[in-house]
Amino acid sequence: MKQKYSTKYLLLISSLMIVTAMLSVIISNNGNLYLVGDYMSQQIPFIKESKRLLLSGQPFWSSNTFLGSNFLGTYSFYNYASPFYWPLFLIPESMLGIGLSITFAIKHIIAASTAHLYLKRYIKTEHLSFIGALIYAFSGFVMDSTYYFHFIDVIAVFPALLYLVDEVLEGRKKVTLSLMVLLNCMINYYFVISTSVFFLMYLIFKVRFSNGKYCFKDALRCIIFYAVGGIASMFILLPSALSLLETSKATGSFSSTLLRGLGTIPQLIRILKGIFLPSEGVLGSVTGFMYSSFNSNVAFLPFLGGVFLLIALRRKTDTWYFKLYKFLFVLTVIPFGNGIFSLFTNVSYTRWWYAFVLMGIIVSLRIIEEKFENTEVKKSAKTISIISFAVVGLPLVAKILCAYVLKNPIIALLEKFSSKLPDNAVKAVTEADFFAALTAKDFAYIATFIIMTVATYLPLFIYIKKGWIYRAKKVVPAVALICTFTYCAYFTNEAVICNPAENYKGADIATSQETEYTHRTIHNNAFANYPCVVNQPGISTFISFKSHSTAQFCNLVGYENTLHLNSNKFFNTPAIQSVLSVKTIVDKDGTEQNAPYYTPFGFEYEYYLPIENAEYTTNTKENNKRIENMTVACYLDKETAQKLDGIVKPLDKEIDWKKDFKKEGAQDFLMTSSGFTAKSSGNRERLIFFSVPHDNGWKAYVNGKETEIYTVNGGLMGIVVPSGEIEIEFTFTTPGLKAGIIVSAITLTSLAAYAVVDKIKKSKKED
């Protein structure tokens, strides 16, 4: 008998759903998919930068990423290794927005297909596995991940990985599992951590509660071939790991772990809301409070909601998926629990919830298949009502009271005791979110939340009451419509009408050529990663990773260097133009002017100051002074100062930086994606400074002979050159790339040999 709700039918339905959901956005943007936040400020700029670097043939150093960045080590988190990126690499620059629309749709279609492949193993009712696949591809977690775009790559292939794990438990498709792990590593190495942690939990529960069907040997076989896939991906993992270990985000993440863990307790509000209630948007909230924002705290299931999840949590059963879901639920609501899935590098993120969503769909559909009692539904409805009041009702009431009733009395009380309070305490309290009046945007989020909640729970309770939930012809169209409608509602708050002429001015002009530059440019009032868009290196960024070298410079001069790794600044002196070789300033209207204090790359230092006396501060005056000092004297640690004794000397005079700043630097400076070259001349041995991060992988040559690179001004580079005319060359090689390629090649060759031998053995057995 031909399956009515087949994968082909699923492809058709999911295609129609995602196109319909996107329709209003892409029509408004002439076929382009433009969304808010990171999507515009990171995804599109980084896609453009990756294309440019890959076309260069030597994609090692990204000059457009702030002061420079290890491209292969940093950008593997975002795009270039993922097959979902490759079509974007091939299309013309002017069609990027349309390409994003198509890619976005394809990801959802693949997510539905892989979920269907996996769910059919456990959900035998044809139409239920079908709607489960749709719900997975259009879940709240997927909606929330549109903000990041590349997260959906992981979501799309994850069910296929679990399908293959089950196959290997049965002794089949071992090599395919290794290749799927390799694919996951290529898509995003960061999510491999959470996937791997979940994989181990998944194996433990399947073996422990399989009633003897699986044993330790079966689990070990899975682990071995899973590990082989990881080793095969070393050409991605090793450079990425070495780059990640250079960042404060990785190595500094364990500091204040207890404090950060306790800080996740208020996040329980958002976690419970994310499981049992829909998300109205990532940049706003129905309550007016942006608590625990950007942590991916959304796991809501359209149509199913949290009704069957609560039934599953209450039921006593030894079935592995019920046991596993209960364990995951407890883990996600307790402090530190979510940190397990990132090896405690972050205890707030719930970005492993793609697994939580899939397990939630399994238990929900199994409850329906096994039948349920009306009393169970009533208990769930009561619990959801209580949760809704606790996580939405109370915060909203508190917001209204603070903004409209208590604000003035509290301000008066604070002002009365202001002399006893810290500076700016009154301002900090009264300008907090909970004292701000509700805006039109707040009411839009409230309306969206109500619409999405009603759109899920009202049809569900009608379908339960009338028994339609068991009738395929009734439930499949309803799920498709609800998923599409809620996605559209979400998009109303997350879409943006983009005017490329204003926001992306110059973005389509020669942006695919390799970066070859001699100076930096400041684009006033442009977003942080705009240099990646227009291919003009600047001095701002918004990226998930900064190397230690970059971070140390940021600490020294007053760039914000938090876990968000933005480049907001606590300085305002134009002396930064000299230190960072800014030659051009572009105003918002596109008007260009020459920077009055420009100094070319590669200028000479005669003096130094001890860096030990320069701790990080947000004091603008102090940071300005340090930057102005840098125009004449570099900051050195004690050890480096001793090595350079006789080359530079302690600053022993007052400076007037506007008169004393260096007017000249190296000649013929040129930086490309593999390094930079320059020429210099002088009548003495001297220290030459380049405002490029001293990351691992750099080598310097003077007249063809390798020379030592010194760390100058916190984390940037300097070299000592002899008197006379000299030629300078710096080359960057991605650390770990060569070794990673060798390991991957050996592993893949061995895996191919194993596949051939295994096939021969099976053929002989069949004979």
Residues 411-437: tens digit of each pLDDT: 777 777 766 666 666 666 666 777 788
Residue with tokens 């109303």: 492
Helix (H) or strand (E) holding 636: strand 633-636
Give the per-residue SS3 of 40-66: HHHHHHHHHHHHHHHHHCCCCEECCCC
pLDDT (average), residues 174-188? 96
Tell me the pLDDT band of 197, cut-offs 50, 70 and 90: very high
pLDDT (average), residues 376-388? 95
The backbone torsions φ and ψ at residue 519, rounded to the nearest 5 degrees and listed phi first, read -160, 175
Tell me the pLDDT band of 330, cut-offs 50, 70 and 90: very high
Give the per-residue SS3 of 361-373: HHHHHHHHHCCCC
Residue-level pLDDT at 426: 66
In whole angstroms, give the CA distance from residue 668 to residue 277.
60
**Interval 64-123: pLDDT, tens:** 999 999 999 989 988 889 999 998 888 877 788 888 889 999 999 999 999 999 999 999
Residue-level pLDDT at 348: 83
Tell me the pLDDT band of 321, cut-offs 50, 70 and 90: very high
Please name the residue ranges forming H helices in 631-670: 638-643, 657-660
Q: 362 with 120: CB under 8 angstroms?
A: no
Residue 283 structure tokens: 């940049």
Pick 358 or 496 by higher pLDDT.
Answer: 358
Q: Which residues contact 760 (CB under 8 A, 6 or more apart)?
A: none
Q: 46 with 660: CB under 8 angstroms?
A: no
Highest mean pLDDT among 128-137, 485-494, 755-764: 128-137
In whole angstroms, give the CA distance from residue 353 to residue 275.
10
Residue-level pLDDT at 398: 86
Residue-level pLDDT at 83: 93
**Interval 711-762: pLDDT, tens:** 999 999 999 999 999 999 999 999 999 999 999 999 999 999 999 998 888 7
Tell me the pLDDT band of 499, cut-offs 50, 70 and 90: low
In whole angstroms, how far apart are CA 628 and each of 595, 624, 660, 693?
A: 15, 6, 10, 19
pLDDT (average), residues 582-600? 90
Tell me the pLDDT band of 677, cut-offs 50, 70 and 90: very high
In whole angstroms, give the CA distance from residue 139 to residue 491.
13
Q: Is the pLDDT of residue 519 over 80?
A: yes
Using alpha carbons only, how large is the chain's radius of gyration in Å? 29
CA dihedral 30, 32, 36, 41 (to 10 degrees): -120
Pick 247 or 460 by higher pLDDT.
Answer: 460
Q: Is the pLDDT of residue 263 over 70?
A: no
Q: Is the pLDDT of residue 504 over 60?
A: no
Q: 555 with 561: CB under 8 angstroms?
A: yes
Helix (H) or strand (E) holding 688: strand 686-693
Residue-level pLDDT at 474: 93
Domain ranges of the chain: 76-494, 509-735
In this prediction the pTM is 0.91
Residue 678 structure tokens: 């320059």
Residue-level pLDDT at 507: 46
Residue-level pLDDT at 501: 52
In whole angstroms, give the CA distance from residue 496 to residue 504.
13
